[in-house]
Structure 1
Amino acid sequence: MTSEQQSYYELRQPPSDGISSVNFCPYSVNLLVTSWDNTVRCYDTQNNVQKWQYTHKGPVLDGCFPEKTKIYSSDIFGGIKQYDPVSGVEKEIGTHKKGVKSIVYNITTQQLYSGSWDQHLKVWDTRSDTPEISSHNLESKVYTMDCSSISNMLVVGTADKYITIFDIRKMDMPLQKRESSIKYQTRCIRCFTDGKGYALASVEGRIAMEYFDPSPAAQSKKYAFKCHRPNEGGVDVVYPVNCIAFNPIYGTFATGGCDKNVFFWDGANRKRLHFLKTYPTSISSMSFNSDGNILAVASSYTFEEGEKDHPPDQIFIHHINENKIKPFEKPPQK
C-alpha cells in the first residue's frame, strides 16, 4: 500500500441515498452531512463514528455547521431547520415555496441566508421569534451561493447564469448583478479566502476566477480555465464541475467533478498543483477542516446521465500533505 493510499479512509455508515453536501464544523473533527434520504448526520471523523442525526420531511439539499451548537439545514419542500446538538432540540426557522438549494450563515451578522428554487433569497435572524428579516426576488432559481465574512459579500448564482452580489451590511438592494463569464449553467460558487472574489464552477468543465472590485485594474485579473476534461479514446470529454473547496490556510482550492476526479489548484499563479484520486463515481461535495489538513470528499452519483445503476454513496476522509496544497513557488531567478 502506498503512502497516498494510507492517507485516506472511508467513513462508516454513510447515508443511504445521494449526498447533497458535506461541511466541517470550525475547529472540530465533526463533519455535517446532508442527504437525499431525508437525513442530516454528524460524524466524528477522527474516530470514524456517527454521533447523531435528525430528519426532514423530504430530501435535504444543504446544510451548514457554523458553530458547535448551531446546525442549519434545508429541504426540497422549502423547509429550513435549526438544530442544537448539545440539547438535541430542533427548531423550524421558516419556509420557501419551493426547495431551498443553498444556505449560508454569517457569524459576524449572526444571520442565515437561504436561496431557493422559488427564485427568492431570504435573510433570517435565527435568534428571533419572527426570524424572517427580508426577501429578495432574483427572478430565477437559486443554484448556489456563498458568503465572505472578510469582505461582507454574499454571492448568489442563479439558473439564468447571472451572479447577484450583495453587501450583507446593506441588503436593501444588490451591490452588483453581472452575467457569468462562463456561458453554461453555474454549478457552484465559493468565495476566495482573502474576500476579494469568488470561483465559479460550471457544467462544461470550466472554472472562472472573478473579483468583486469593479475597477478595470481588478477586473483585468479575472480569467477562466478548463478542467475535468479527461482524454478518453483520443477525445477530450467534458464533465460538469460540481464543487469547489478552498483551503483556509493557503487559499488554494480543490475541485470535484462528474469525471470522478479531484484536483488541487493555485488560482493566484494559475497552476494545477496535484491530482488527488479517481473515485467510484461523481464528486458531489467537498469540505476542508479549519486547519486545512483534512479534506472530506463525497463520492455520490449526481444523475448527470439520468437514472442508472451506480456505485453506493461514500465519504472519504483525506489527510492532506501540505506540499500538495501549498501555493506554487516560482524558482529563484539566476
Structure 2
Amino acid sequence: MHDPATTQFEIADPPTDGITNVTFSPTDSQLLLASSWDSTVRLYNVDENKLTTQVKHAGPILDTCFGKDNNSAYHGGVAKQVTKLDLETSSEQNLGKHDEPVRCVRWSSETNNLYSGSWDKTLRVWDDRSPEALQQTHNLPQKVFSMDLCDNKLVVAMASRQIHVYDIRNINEPWQTRETTLRYMLKSVRCMPNGEGYACSSIEGRVALEFYDMSPEAQAKKYAFKSHRHMINDTEVVYPVNALAFHPVYGTFASGGSDCAVSIWDGVNRKRIRQFPRYPDEIASLAFSHDGKKLAIASSYTFDEGERDHSPDAIFVKTMAETDCKPRTA
C-alpha cells in the first residue's frame, strides 16, 4: 500500500484569483500550464515544484493549451483576444479577436490549427503560420461553455445543453448535432481517449457518457449518473460538476465538483473506483499527465454563490497508483 500523505503536494506560486484551467504538456509530464482570473498564464515544472514562466495578459484568462511543442501555448479570455505565447521568451502574438470573451482554446497536431470557442456563439479556426491567422468562423446556436479535442473529433458544449461534434478534417458543417441527456446547464466536456465518445457534466451533480456511433447497440451504452451530492441535515445537497479528465491509459475518468471532492470513475463498468479526501475549496479544473501517472487538481472557488470568503487558490499534483485509476474487473 502506498502512503497517500506522500503522494500529493501543493504547487508553489499558484495563481491568485480563480483558476480556470490546468493542463499538462501532451509529451512531458513535468510541464503544467495554468490560467486564471488573475490575468496570468503560468508554466510550472512540477517535478521541481517551480514556476518557470509567468506572463500577465490584458485581462482574465479563461483557457490555455499547449501548441505544437512545449515552448508554445495559446490562451483566450475576457479581453476577447486569441493569443499565442512563446514560453521561452514570454512574448505574445495576438492572432485576432472574438466579439465576446474567449471561453475555450484547443490545439490540433493533426491540422496544426488552433480552435477557439467564445461567448459570441462562434467557433473560429486559426493558423498562426499564415499572414491572416483567422481561417474560418463558424456560427453556433449558443455560447460555448466547454470544448475538447481528441484525434479528429472536436466536441463543443454550449448553452441550452447543445453539443456540436466536428470532424476537423472537414469542419464546414458539424459532423453531429446533439442535445445532451443532462437536464441542466453544462459545465465540462471531455473526449474519451479511445475516440468512441465523450463525457459531459452539469451544474446539477450529474455526468453523462455519450457515444458517437448512432447504432442501437452503441446508443444502449450511454447513460447518466448522479455524483457530487451529500446529505446535510437530512437534505440532499447537489453540487455542480465543474471538471472532468480522462485517464489516457485506462480510459477511466476523474470528476471534480463544487463539493471540493475528486472521484475516479470506471465508466464502462459504471462504478466509482476511488474518492479522495476533500480539498480546501471547489474543484475548478483537472488534468492527467500524458502517461497517466499524475493528476493536477485546481482547488479554486468558482463563484457559484457569488462573493464569499474562500480558501486561497491552490494546485495540487497527485501521483496516481494503478489502483487509483485502473478498472476493477471483479
> TM-score higher than 0.5 here?
yes
Report 1:90-129 matches (<5 A): 90-129=92-131
Gaps of 5+ in 1: none
What's the CA shift string for 1:39-83, capped at 9, x where partnerless?
A: 000011011110011121100000001421220111112111111
- What residue in structure 1 maps to residue 207 of structure 2? 207
- What residue in structure 1 maps to residue 322 of structure 2? 322
Per the alignment, in what secondary structure is the counterpart of residue 238 of structure 2? coil
- What residue in structure 2 maps to residue 25 of structure 1? 25
State the 1:92 CA deviation: 0.8
Report 1:119-268 matches (<5 A): 119-149=121-151, 152-268=152-268
Query: In the aligned structure 1, how far is the partner of 2:328 from the partner of 2:3?
Result: 22
Asked if 1:273 is matched to 2:276, the reply is no
Gaps of 5+ in 2: none
Normalising by structure 2, we get a TM-score of 0.97
Report 1:302-321 matches (<5 A): 302-321=302-321
- What residue in structure 2 maps to residue 83 of structure 1? 85
- What residue in structure 2 maps to residue 39 of structure 1? 40
Given that 1:77 and 1:97 are in contact with CA atoms closer than 8 Å, whether structure 2 keeps it comes out as no
Paired residues, what number? 327
State the 1:275 CA deviation: 0.6
- What residue in structure 1 maps to residue 56 of structure 2? 55
Query: In the aligned structure 2, how far is the partner of 1:55 from the partner of 1:246?
Result: 30
Normalising by structure 1, we get a TM-score of 0.96
Given that 1:266 and 1:273 are in contact with CA atoms closer than 8 Å, whether structure 2 keeps it comes out as yes
State the 1:26 CA deviation: 2.0
Query: In the aligned structure 2, how far is the partner of 1:128 from the partner of 1:277?
Result: 48
Query: In the aligned structure 2, how far is the partner of 1:27 from the partner of 1:121?
Result: 26
Given that 1:80 and 1:94 are in contact with CA atoms closer than 8 Å, whether structure 2 keeps it comes out as yes
**RMSD (Å) for aligned C-alpha atoms:** 1.1
Per the alignment, in what secondary structure is the counterpart of residue 237 of structure 1? strand
- What residue in structure 1 maps to residue 65 of structure 2? 64
- What residue in structure 2 maps to residue 290 of structure 1? 290
After the TM superposition, which segments of 4 or more aligned residues of structure 1 sit over 3 Å from their partners?
A: none
State the one-letter code of the partner of 1:166: Y
Given that 2:147 and 2:189 are in contact with CA atoms closer than 8 Å, whether structure 1 keeps it comes out as yes
Query: In the aligned structure 2, how far is the partner of 1:215 from the partner of 1:111?
Result: 31
State the 1:219 CA deviation: 1.0
Query: In the aligned structure 2, how far is the partner of 1:39 from the partner of 1:85?
Result: 12
Per the alignment, in what secondary structure is the counterpart of residue 94 of structure 1? strand
State the 1:297 CA deviation: 0.3
State the 1:16 CA deviation: 1.2
State the 1:139 CA deviation: 2.3
Query: In the aligned structure 1, how far is the partner of 2:215 from the partner of 2:101?
Result: 36
Query: In the aligned structure 2, how far is the partner of 1:38 from the partner of 1:157?
Result: 24
Per the alignment, in what secondary structure is the counterpart of residue 134 of structure 1? strand
State the one-letter code of the partner of 2:74: Y
State the one-letter code of the partner of 2:57: H
Query: In the aligned structure 1, how far is the partner of 2:231 from the partner of 2:177?
Result: 36
Per the alignment, in what secondary structure is the counterpart of residue 242 of structure 1? strand
